[in-house]
A = this chain, B = another copy of it.
Amino acid sequence: MTAQIQSNEGSQTGFKTGIVISIDAMGGDRGPQAVVAGMAVSASKNPDIRFVVHGDAPTLKRLIAKRRQLASICQIVHAEKIVSMDEKPSHAMRHGQGTSMWSAIDSVRNGAATVAVSCGNTGALMAVSMIRLRKAPGVSRPAIAILWPSASAHGFNVMLDVGADVKADPEDLLRYALMGSSYARNGLNLTRPRVGILNVGTEEHKGRTGLKEAHDLVAAAAPLNEFEFIGFVEGGDIPSDHVDVIVTDGFTGNVALKTAEGTASFVRRLLEQAFKHTPLSRIGALFALTSLRRLSKRIDPRRVNGGVFLGLNGTVIKSHGDADATGVAAAIRLAFQLAQIGFSKKLAARVASGLQGREDGSSTSFKE
């Protein structure tokens, strides 16, 4: 059986069962090979997954045909063009039609798929997502949320925004608190997530002026929105077990994320050097091999790959640009989980209900 090729006009896929994920197969640094390899990993672990795959049809047909697991669960949508990794967001917005990225997002827009995954350039992906999916009611700035490896029992904290927008005013930070706690509730199964705002000190008088206002807004919203507000947190608290959701602007969040990734890689390299340093330490490494592999897996950024765009009418997941099969599979796993629980609708309801009484008051009291 071979993969079907179709246009992206209709609102239905040919799939009768399963959860459909839309894939931009052309975006990443490693090309469609890595993306299709990641899809194959996901498919072998999950019989309910289906893919709408966007990109150069002949290439994709050939790559998918090589993977037994993929043949009957993929539909290919041909896209002529590719958004390059250094393309400006404004350019992608104006000239993006016909690209695999645009087409992948349109599958969410027209209801053919529930969640889209792309390894493409973050700025362009956010820009195209914004114009095709539009911002959800009540949201002025969408955010990118990630799962941050942490000492907590569930293994991760939620951090947002890690780079959708370099600015965020106090009202945006309130929405991030609502969206982030909804993500923690649905993605990490926490009934009452603990939310903190990132600052340079935990005392209330510290930090920027806007942060004090955000502090008061989020504190006031906590009782009605089933999260606990723990006040300001510092950089050192991000991987800790005394906060679940860390709220910050996209500039600070992006710097923090990349600093943490850089630090973890730096320590990992030092560790490798330490084990190669003497014959004794080489023997030590052999004995500890399994445990070290487990550690390496735990702090491997590929395995927690996937920034979720929150605040749009539909869910888009940004994978690392240089993701390999393992990385792409991690992003797809996350997409599948969120699609399965109907996250997009729950999130929209949560934001609308969280802002109820603050704005037009017309939103109904949906519950997650």
Q: Which residues of A contact B (CB under 8 A)?
A: 86, 88, 123, 149-151, 163, 166-167, 198, 200-201, 203, 205-208, 234-240, 248, 250-252, 254-271, 273-275, 277-278, 280-281, 283-292, 294-295, 298-299
Q: When the two chains form the complex, which single residue of B200, B256, B287 contacts A163, counting CB atoms closer than 8 Å?
A: B200
CB <8 Å contact, A275 and B251: no
As for how many copies of this chain the complex holds, the number is 2
CB <8 Å contact, A238 and B262: yes
Within 8 Å CB of A257, what residues of B? 235
- Compute how far the CA of A86 lies from the CA of B166 in the bound complex, rounded to whole angstroms: 31
Q: Give A357 Cβ to nearest chain B Cβ, in Å.
A: 32
Q: When the two chains form the complex, which single residue of B208, B283, B291 contacts A281, counting CB atoms closer than 8 Å?
A: B291
Q: Across the two chains, which residue of chain B brings its CB closest to A200?
A: B254
- Compute how far the CA of A257 lies from the CA of B356 in the bound complex, rounded to whole angstroms: 38
Q: When the two chains form the complex, which single residue of B167, B251, B271 contacts A295, counting CB atoms closer than 8 Å?
A: B271
CB <8 Å contact, B88 and A205: yes
User: Which one of A254, A271, A291, A292 has the highest number of Cβ atoms from chain B below 10 Å of its Cβ?
Assistant: A291
Within 8 Å CB of A268, what residues of B? 267
- Compute how far the CA of A235 lies from the CA of B284 in the bound complex, rounded to whole angstroms: 33
Within 8 Å CB of A198, what residues of B? 255
Within 8 Å CB of A287, what residues of B? 280-281, 283-284, 287
Q: When the two chains form the complex, which single residue of B207, B269, B274 contacts A291, counting CB atoms closer than 8 Å?
A: B274
CB <8 Å contact, A255 and B258: no
- Compute how far the CA of A208 lies from the CA of B259 in the bound complex, rounded to whole angstroms: 18
CB <8 Å contact, A251 and B298: no
18 contacts between A and B (CB under 8 A): A88-B205, A166-B200, A166-B207, A167-B208, A207-B251, A234-B258, A235-B261, A239-B262, A259-B263, A263-B267, A270-B299, A271-B271, A271-B295, A274-B292, A274-B294, A275-B291, A280-B290, A284-B291
